[in-house]
Amino acid sequence: MNIEILEASLQQAALKVYRANRHIREAQHHVAQHSKRDFYKIIKEGSAYSADQRFIAVAESIPLDVPLAIGDTFHCLSTALDYIATGLVESVQGDTTRISFPSHNTRDALRQSFKAPRNGASPPNRRIVEALPRFAYLLLARIRPYAGGGMNAWEVRKADNIDKHNIVMPTITITHISDVKMVDNRGGSSFHFGSVTVGDSGEMHLIDVGRGSGEVNVLDYGRATFEVRFPVGLEVFGGEPVFPTLTHCAESIQQVIELVGVSYDTPTFRY
């Protein structure tokens, strides 16, 4: 094995993780800037003259820079995995045609991809097993690049593939709102909400005012806190908080790099 080739590939993979972390910080910056603006509004449905007055709080859509940075994060992390696989193969046999980091939905599917086909062909994952049996063991025993495997390799690959076809648009969910003030312009009644918890819908029902009351208007929209989450229906990470999840993914891929480096007696990389 040419250790210099493998070390160079692991360095490049670590640089991709470094870049992924920059994209995470970029997305966090855009969210922080968004929170300084009026990122939510309180909507009144009905009026004192036509129907009951209903007030709800709704979060505005997240800036497009955020999902773009999220997609770039997954792409960098997925690319880092490919750098590992191609570096390993190149270090022992040179030819990296069609080589990519192995991942499958299940452990059994991953094992099957390592087996020699009956037609005598040598697909990419079989070539990896033949050239790098230690790496094949790491994949099955430690890295486990299948759904729920624990090091997020499969999940990162899946999220990157999803983003290649459709932008992953996270949602802003208001979690608490406080110090909202309203006034009834007929009777002078006032309404003050100290702290209200918002449901999973991101839409908060504040108050219903029945007929007979005056027109109720919002005097102070108060303050709100929120969470940024992946869409509930997403195939991976559905409904999970975006930034803890992205950070965990970056840490996991860095661990994969270090695991391979230690297993093949190369330096451990941290950036």
Mean pLDDT of the chain: 84
Which one has a higher pLDDT value, 64 or 220?
Answer: 64
Which one has a higher pLDDT value, 21 or 171?
Answer: 21
Which one has a higher pLDDT value, 51 or 173?
Answer: 173
Are the CB atoms for 55 and 207 separated by under 8 Å? yes
pLDDT the model gives residue 40 = 80
204 belongs to a structural domain: yes
Identify the helix (H) or strand (E) that includes residue 43.
Answer: strand 40-45
pLDDT the model gives residue 11 = 94
Per-residue pLDDT tens digits for 224-257? 888 899 998 899 999 999 999 999 999 999 999 9
pLDDT the model gives residue 192 = 57
269 belongs to a structural domain: no
Which one has a higher pLDDT value, 113 or 160?
Answer: 160
Q: Give Cα 252 to chain centroid, integer Å.
A: 13
Task: Say which DSSP state 155 is in.
Answer: H
pLDDT the model gives residue 36 = 79
238 belongs to a structural domain: yes
Four-point Cα dihedral 12, 13, 18, 22, nearest 10? 100
pLDDT the model gives residue 194 = 52
216 belongs to a structural domain: yes
Question: Which stretches of 37-141 are DSSP H helices?
Answer: 65-92, 107-114, 124-131, 133-138
Identify the helix (H) or strand (E) that includes residue 260.
Answer: helix 242-263
270 belongs to a structural domain: no
268 belongs to a structural domain: no
62 belongs to a structural domain: yes
Residue 270 has pLDDT above 80, yes or no: no
Alpha-carbon span 100 to 103, nearest angstrom? 9
* Domain span at 157: 3-263
Of 112-121, 141-150, 223-232, give the lowest mean pLDDT range. Answer: 112-121
**Mean pLDDT across the stretch 154-181?**
89
Reported as a pLDDT band with limits 50, 70 and 90, residue 183 is confident
Alpha-carbon span 78 to 80, nearest angstrom? 5
271 belongs to a structural domain: no
pTM: 0.83
Q: How many domains does the chain have?
A: 1
- 110-131 burial, b if ≥16 CB within 10 A, otherwise e? bbebbeeeeeeeeeebbbbbeb
User: What percent of the chain clears pLDDT 90, i.e. is strictly above it?
Assistant: 48
Residue 201 has pLDDT above 70, yes or no: no
